[in-house]
Structure 1
């Protein structure tokens, strides 16, 4: 999920072009990118915005995009976990490479 995905959705349907709707999409995109580590921001605020089951704004955005909010959250959570696993693997690889290169 990236900025282009949201732009495509917003430009396909005239009902998603209102200023208020676009603002909430921008807030959602910012939260997603913050959680993915692509933007600087409060990860806790981003997480609470997206994963709060009572967030009517996320429900509204997902509804307009014909996406089930629970599926959106589940997919994002899986993507975040995969990103964390990759980061851990990279960190471990760097440590192993540093240890090997320090052997005379």
Structure 2
């Protein structure tokens, strides 16, 4: 089990969760943040600091965002478990599902 970052993070990327994560397992793409499921130990430190309530325990992700469990995991298919956001820095691409979304928060 792991925590998952869902669609409310897209185009927000507050980064409070990155600062709070003791394992440095939250990574930054251009439009969204992603939790590396193999590095996450389910401590839950990230969830309460998210201002847009985008972070959910894997079993509690709302139905409309359940596919973000796979989105978070698949984001790391080519990266593996890099060993920390601080070491790697921002990643130049998003998961294709996120990249295909229309701009969020603009009306």
Same fold (TM over 0.5): no
Q: Name the TM-score class by shorter chain.
A: under 0.3
Bigger Cα Rg:
1
> Normalising by structure 1, what TM-score?
0.26
Greater fraction of residues in helix = 1
Specify which structure has the bigger relative contact order, considering alpha-carbon pairs within 8 angstroms and separated by 6 or more residues.
Answer: 2
Greater fraction of residues in strand = 2
